[in-house]
Chain A
Amino acid sequence: MAKGDREFGVLGKPLRRVDAVGKVTGETRFADDLAMPGMLHMKLVRSPLPHAKIRGIDARKALAVDGVRAVLTGEMFPIPFGILPVSQDEHALCPDKVRFVGDPVAAVVATEELIAEEAARLVEVDYEPLATIGSPEEALAHAEPRIQDHGDAGNIHKMVALDFGDVPAAIAGADLVVEDCFFYQGNTHLALEQHATLAYLGTDGRLTIASSTQTPHYLHRAAAKVLGWPASRIRIIAPPQGGGFGGKTDPFNHEIVAAKAVLITGRPVKIALTREEVFYCHRGRHPVLMRMRTGVTKEGRIVGHSVETLLDGGAYGSYGVASTFYTGALETVTYKIDRYQFRGCRTFTNKPPCGPKRGHGTPQPRFGFEVQIDKFCDRLGLDPAQWRIDQAVPADSLTANWLKVRTIGLVPCVEAVVEASGWKSRFRKLPRGRGLGIAASSYLCGAGLPIYWNEMPHSGVQLLLDRSGGVTAFCGASEVGQGSDNVLAVCVAEVLGIDILDVKVVTGDTSLGPVDLGSYSSRVTLMMGNAAVEAAQRARDRLAEAVGKRLDLAIERVGFAGGRVFDVGDPDRGMAFADAVQLAETAGGTVGTVGSYTPPRAPGKFKGAGVGPSPSYSYSAAVVEVAVDEATGVVDVVKIWVAHDIGRALNPVLVRGQVEGSVYMGLGEALMEEQAFRRLPPRLSRALVHQTPSMLEYKSLASRDMPEIESILIENPEPNGPFGAKEVGQGPLLPIPPAVANAVYDAVRVRVDEVPITPDKVLAALRAASKRVGPDAFPAVPWPEPLIVPPPWEGGDGNAINEPRRRDKSAGGPQRGAAPEGRDRRAEGRDRPEEAAKP
């Protein structure tokens, strides 16, 4: 036994993941790899206009093309859908209005994809153009024309105003007040696999939709709603995905249209999106303009912190309400903040909808906050690494906004990267042009509430133990590449003392496994893992009982390891695992168990408290070293040290892969990734188009662009996690962009308060008198009256003092009839617990 820990069998070992062979042989079947006899192919006709009414559609020419079997249009889809109950604003095909270039208006189904494509070009759509809203500033300035007929006002989708204590008063008493504006450009997931869907009527009569989706359960609900089919007769299959990163967490129009096409043609229908269409699906990182105002004491204590965010949401709601909350929610879980004020505003614009990308809503304020910390530490003469250690939130505490922090590995993370990078001897001491920057961060291990209000578990696992000794684990979780199938196998195998290859996992199929809410908000390892452990422990109990009876042992003395079940006092006394299963089956019938997981209730009770709580928070810290060329502004990232608070690594090879993958994606965002749009001269054109809808021109890091990364894991088991594990799929992305910005400052003493940090901005900052590039102002937003929620240490109870008492049922949940005056009661009434997202 090692260091008082129990000895693990498969846990923590660098074992080959259970799905590795399929991936390296090409045998793993992704959605677009599926085909069926008689399959038809579908192409969508997408809007060339950013904002227009549809006057009419003439599909006669398309229908006349040899090989075309059907053309579908918007009137076939009167029922709207959307990922959040509060914004059911999408139609599978636009019935009356298009809202961005790429919005689908019709679908052509044909015997060959090329025929469908050619015929799609023959569909004639008569549009009446509308004025376009190109930016949040325009959305604020122009209430009309409204892009959506829901939302807080005009083209404002959502406004949030929360005061956790009197921040202006706190700041007035601070030794130093800093105020900065930051901008974080939007970017997209760019998963290598393009979304694809194969829909068909199964031999069981089920309308089956096999699709690249991170959230089969939510797609199930949306498809049933829009198609009017009983959900019990719809089956969603989520094959393994070629990356998700949050880009496949919404139900998408093409998925539902393909299913409808099956019902119309009676044939299997396949749609595989082109890369450009994937850019139109988007749901990626919101562009966010931020203003942060922070008051600190001369020792560096934050007495008041104010965050205002303005989100460019694109044309639809998507996860936007949740995204808006997330631009403020996790600000408090890293460092001690006495009082906190948050204002968030999401606007509609005529662009593809933004949504959840790795880190959902939190990388943007994390960037601003971590850069602002660097700035005030510089002014106060404090070491920014030591500051992060000194100001870390203590374990088992509540934050100003009522989030419960349990275990926190922030300090050891910072210490680890400080030590590994030689921080103390190198920060502010490197020759000009070279620099080190530090940042730290936190992320959820799953959101505390589901997307639609219910009190059922968030994840369920069902086990079947067969006489061979094989175990089948069923779960609705979706394997997006992160290794969730392996997590499931490891958790089950560890409890039962068997090899992971003796566990067959069946996932991503709504007809074959219990619901798991999906691969988003870094929830799967913790939630599915806990459900798996519970199911496996129940199976273990059954086996232990039967074996105990046979060996005349107390149940506690029955051990499970190495594929055997035995007397822990005399391990030679025992039997093979298969024999134990047979004993249990003999004694009590088929050995099948279930487990499920529901997150703990969160302490916050105010409206909006539903976004932010998590069973646990992971922590990360990074030091980035850069070399900056002052002649060109080019930033060369030399090396990155990253430490992540993993709780417990279930598989260190896979954990490392998630850490480095997150660093990679964060670095891409920091340096080049940009989902930008182009508006042509308005006097000549109405166009508002994606600038770079291609793999070539949307720049992402290739192999020669990656610096060396040194990854360090902090293991401090989390009581809420399976075997102590926390998330790792998203958190390590967060510190990278601010650490790059802070390193650039260390190197050449300029501030680029914007992401991405491109050479032109660095050069402009070097040449500017202010030695800074970034936004200078934050527009006027008609903020609603804030909810006033005293922090725990100011006598609060988690309720807002200016909000009618809520039924203590769902923090942030439905509030029928409780909408404050002057606001849209309908939207308020449906303002459900919104949740996070991603891989």
Chain B
Amino acid sequence: MDGPVVPVSHVRAAGQRDRLRLALTVNGEDRDLVVASYKTLLEVLREDLALTGTKHGCELGECGACAVLLDGELVLSCLVAAVECEGRSVTSVEGLREGPRLHALQTAFADHGAAQCGYCTPGMLLAAKSLLDRNADPSRDQIAEALSGQICRCTGYLQIFEAVEAAGCALRGERPPAPQLPRVRGDHGEG
């Protein structure tokens, strides 16, 4: 091929006013956007689509709060350039719910104390979904590994692990376990 390779057509070179036309599918719906060309998928979701369920704690790939599914794969939206999302499909936490019903993971997170402040929760949910989509009955170790890219500063993770296990049960059609409660003792021995 002869001649210089020109910048790809959907980037308009216009000094500081660079804008990008972007067509992508978000939570099953086609979206056509014009966004600042420097933006990451995280910024597009939160700022251009007002889908603020996707959180951010560092924007450098170091905390996992911004995880979404991109073409079905768990990725960090803070490290995906919007310009590379043309024609792709994104699932964010807003897309988990099935109509009025919560996804089994959402139910389990709500009931098992897996969401305290709730800020890591969207990323955790998508990481957990990514795991359960591949492995319907993961071990505790596999769960810990699958969630090892998401920092939670509130829970100590154990209730999150239990929520994923409970959601796995529900998705397999089994009766999910009730939330695990701490042992309670009265002032003098078992109460």
Q: Hey, which bits of chain A sit against chain B, CB under 8 A?
A: 3, 14, 16-17, 19-30, 32-33, 35, 66, 112, 114-115, 189-194, 240-243, 245, 274-275, 409, 412, 416, 480-483, 643, 649, 652-657, 659-661, 663-665, 694-696, 700, 702-704, 706, 708-716
Residue in A19, A25, A653 whose CB lies within 8 Å of B96: A25
Indicate the member of B92, B157, B180 with the most A CB atoms within 10 Å. Answer: B157
Distance (Å) between the CB of B149 and the closest chain A CB?
A: 8
Q: Which residues of A contact B191 (CB under 8 A)?
A: 3, 715
Given A14-B179, A700-B151, A703-B148; A30-B185 close (CB under 8 Å): no
Distance (Å) between the CB of A11 and the closest chain B CB?
A: 13
Interface set, chain B 67-106, CB cutoff 8 A to A:
92-94, 96-97, 102, 105-106
Distance (Å) between the CB of B74 and the closest chain A CB?
A: 14
List 13 A-B pairs, Cβ < 8 Å. A14-B111, A14-B181, A23-B121, A26-B54, A26-B121, A30-B52, A191-B117, A242-B120, A243-B153, A412-B186, A412-B187, A660-B155, A715-B187
Q: Are A193 and B182 in contact (CB under 8 A)?
A: no
Q: Are A275 and B156 in contact (CB under 8 A)?
A: no
Q: Are B148 and A23 in contact (CB under 8 A)?
A: no
Q: Which residues of A contact B116 (CB under 8 A)?
A: 243, 481-483, 657, 661
Q: Are A23 and B52 in contact (CB under 8 A)?
A: no
Q: Are A480 and B117 in contact (CB under 8 A)?
A: yes
Q: Are B156 and A242 in contact (CB under 8 A)?
A: no
Distance (Å) between the CB of A419 and the closest chain B CB?
A: 10
Given A26-B54, A193-B55, A653-B181; A243-B158 close (CB under 8 Å): no
Distance (Å) between the CB of A394 and the closest chain B CB?
A: 13
Given A715-B184, A715-B186; A704-B145 close (CB under 8 Å): yes
Q: Which residues of A contact B157 (CB under 8 A)?
A: 664, 703, 706
Distance (Å) between the CB of B141 and the closest chain A CB?
A: 9
Complexed CA–CA distance, A672 and B113 (Å): 26
- Nearest CB in chain B to that of A407: its residue: B187
Q: Are B110 and A703 in contact (CB under 8 A)?
A: no
Q: Are B144 and A240 in contact (CB under 8 A)?
A: no
Q: Which residues of A contact B186 (CB under 8 A)?
A: 412, 714-716
Complexed CA–CA distance, A664 and B153 (Å): 8
Given A16-B110, A25-B53; A274-B118 close (CB under 8 Å): no
Q: Which residues of B contact A190 (CB under 8 A)?
A: 153
- Nearest CB in chain A to that of B181: its residue: A652
Complexed CA–CA distance, A191 and B55 (Å): 13
Given A275-B58, A694-B58, A716-B186; A703-B122 close (CB under 8 Å): no
**Supplied contacts A23-B110, A192-B120, A656-B180, 19 more A-B pairs, CB within 8 Å:** A14-B111, A24-B107, A24-B115, A242-B117, A481-B119, A481-B154, A649-B182, A652-B181, A653-B111, A657-B159, A661-B154, A694-B58, A700-B153, A703-B150, A704-B144, A706-B157, A712-B184, A713-B185, A714-B186
Complexed CA–CA distance, A480 and B118 (Å): 10
Complexed CA–CA distance, A22 and B112 (Å): 15
Shortest 4 CB-CB contacts between residues of A and residues of B = A26-B53, A481-B117, A23-B118, A242-B119
Chain B interface residue count, CB cutoff 8 Å, equals: 73
Total number of residue pairs linking A and B with CB closer than 8 Å? 227
Residue in B53, B113, B144, B189 whose CB lies within 8 Å of A27: B53
Classify the secondary structure of B's interface with A. loop
- Nearest CB in chain A to that of B92: its residue: A26
Complexed CA–CA distance, A661 and B152 (Å): 9
Q: Are B155 and A412 in contact (CB under 8 A)?
A: no
Complexed CA–CA distance, A617 and B7 (Å): 66
Given A665-B153, A704-B148; A409-B182 close (CB under 8 Å): no
Q: Which residues of A contact B145 (CB under 8 A)?
A: 703-704
Complexed CA–CA distance, A409 and B62 (Å): 40
Q: Are A192 and B113 in contact (CB under 8 A)?
A: no
Q: Are A703 and B36 in contact (CB under 8 A)?
A: no
Q: Which residues of B contact A191 (CB under 8 A)?
A: 117, 119, 153
Distance (Å) between the CB of B130 and the closest chain A CB?
A: 14
Q: Are A695 and B155 in contact (CB under 8 A)?
A: no
B65 within 8 A of A: yes
Q: Which residues of A contact B16 (CB under 8 A)?
A: 66, 115
Distance (Å) between the CB of A651 and the closest chain B CB?
A: 9
Q: Are A696 and B62 in contact (CB under 8 A)?
A: yes
Q: Which residues of A contact B158 (CB under 8 A)?
A: 660, 706, 708-709
B134 within 8 A of A: no
Q: Which residues of B contact A193 (CB under 8 A)?
A: 55, 57, 117, 119
B147 within 8 A of A: yes
Interface set, chain B 121-163, CB cutoff 8 A to A:
121-122, 125, 143-145, 147-161
Q: Are B113 and A695 in contact (CB under 8 A)?
A: no
Q: Which residues of A contact B156 (CB under 8 A)?
A: 657, 660-661, 663-664, 706, 709
Q: Which residues of A contact B148 (CB under 8 A)?
A: 702-704
B178 within 8 A of A: yes
Given A24-B118, A416-B185, A716-B186; A657-B53 close (CB under 8 Å): no
Complexed CA–CA distance, A356 and B49 (Å): 37
- Nearest CB in chain A to that of B121: its residue: A23
Interface set, chain B 17-44, CB cutoff 8 A to A:
36, 38
Residue in A416, A482, A643, A653 whose CB lies within 8 Å of B179: A653
Complexed CA–CA distance, A708 and B144 (Å): 12
Q: Are A712 and B183 in contact (CB under 8 A)?
A: yes
Complexed CA–CA distance, A836 and B143 (Å): 38
- Nearest CB in chain A to that of B111: its residue: A16
Q: Which residues of A contact B51 (CB under 8 A)?
A: 26
Q: Which residues of B contact A663 (CB under 8 A)?
A: 156
Q: Are B115 and A20 in contact (CB under 8 A)?
A: yes
Q: Which residues of B contact A652 (CB under 8 A)?
A: 181-182, 184
Residue in B56, B105, B119, B180 whose CB lies within 8 Å of A243: B119
Residue in B60, B102, B118, B160 whose CB lies within 8 Å of A696: B60
Complexed CA–CA distance, A667 and B109 (Å): 24
Q: Are A26 and B52 in contact (CB under 8 A)?
A: yes
Q: Which residues of B contact A714 (CB under 8 A)?
A: 184-187
Q: Are A412 and B65 in contact (CB under 8 A)?
A: no
Q: Which residues of A contact B6 (CB under 8 A)?
A: none
